């Protein structure tokens, strides 16, 4: 069920970016969602067994884990390359922003 929530969040981020007509906003939103999912996984695996850990482990490990669970191999490979491209754009935009300052 939590994977469905993550997919809805991704769709909302992309729709919001299309509304604002800035694709970089979608890249930042997807990167932020990926970082949050990775942090949930890291924290849940390192705090021991308790209610917070069980709640955090109910979410998928990453966006790629959601894609792997809900697609076949051909679509998954396309999504992986799309994700790699988005993360490269995020990396270059972050470096460009840091370089300006």
d(CA 44, CA 6): 17
Neighbours of 29 (CB within 10 A): 17
User: Could you report the per-residue pLDDT of 57-66, keeping only the tens digit for each?
Assistant: 777 888 888 8
Tell me which H or E stretch contains 71: none
Q: What is the dihedral of CA 11, 8, 60, 20, to 10 degrees?
A: 40
Q: How many domains would you assign to the chain?
A: 1
pTM, to two decimals: 0.74
**Which of these, 42, 49, 43, 79, lies nearest to 64 by C-alpha position?**
79
- Domain housing 66: 2-100
pLDDT tens sequence across 12-64: 777 777 776 777 777 888 888 888 888 888 888 888 788 877 887 777 888 88
Contacts with 79 (C-beta within 8 Å, 6 or more apart), sequence order: 64, 67, 71
23-46 helix and 2-20 helix, angle to the nearest 10 degrees: 150
CA neighbor of 75 nearest in space, from 66, 45, 12, 53: 66
């Amino acid at each position: 069920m939590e994977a469905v929530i993550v997919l809805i969040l991704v769709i909302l981020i992309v729709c919001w970016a299309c509304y604002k007509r800035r694709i970089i906003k979608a890249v930042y939103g997807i990167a932020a969602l990926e970082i949050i999912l990775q942090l949930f996984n890291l924290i849940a695996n390192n705090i021991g067994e308790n209610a917070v850990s069980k709640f955090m482990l109910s979410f998928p490990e990453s966006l790629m884990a959601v894609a792997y669970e809900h697609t076949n191999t051909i679509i998954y490979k396309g999504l992986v390359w799309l994700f790699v491209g988005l993360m490269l754009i995020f990396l270059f935009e972050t470096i460009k922003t840091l370089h300006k300052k």
